[in-house]
Amino acid sequence: MTALATLPRATVTLRLAELADCEAVWRWSFAPDVGARSRRGQAIAFVEHARWFAARLADRREPIWIIEDNHRPVGVVRFERAASGLARISIALAASARGRGVGKIALAAACLAWGEPVFAELVADNLASRGCFEACGFQSVVACDGLLTYHWDPEP
Question: pTM here?
Answer: 0.86
Structural domains of the chain, ranges and CATH numbers in brackets: 12-152 (3.40.630.30)
Q: SS in 3 state form for 72-83? A: EEEEEEEEEECC
Other beta carbons within 10 angstroms of residue 122's beta carbon come to 24
Per-residue model confidence as pLDDT tens for the chain (156 residues):
344 444 455 689 999 999 999 999 999 998 876 654 455 556 788 999 999 999 999 988 899 999 999 999 999 999 999 988 899 999 999 999 998 899 999 999 999 999 999 999 999 988 989 999 999 999 988 889 889 999 999 886
- What DSSP line would sit under the chain, residue for residue? ---------TTEEEEE--GGGHHHHHHHHH-HHHHTTSSS-S---HHHHHHHHHHHHH-TTS-EEEEEETTEEEEEEEEEE-TTSPEEEEEEE-GGGTTTTHHHHHHHHHHHHH-S-EEEEEETT-HHHHHHHHHTT-EEEEEETTEEEEEE-S--
pLDDT at 49: 93
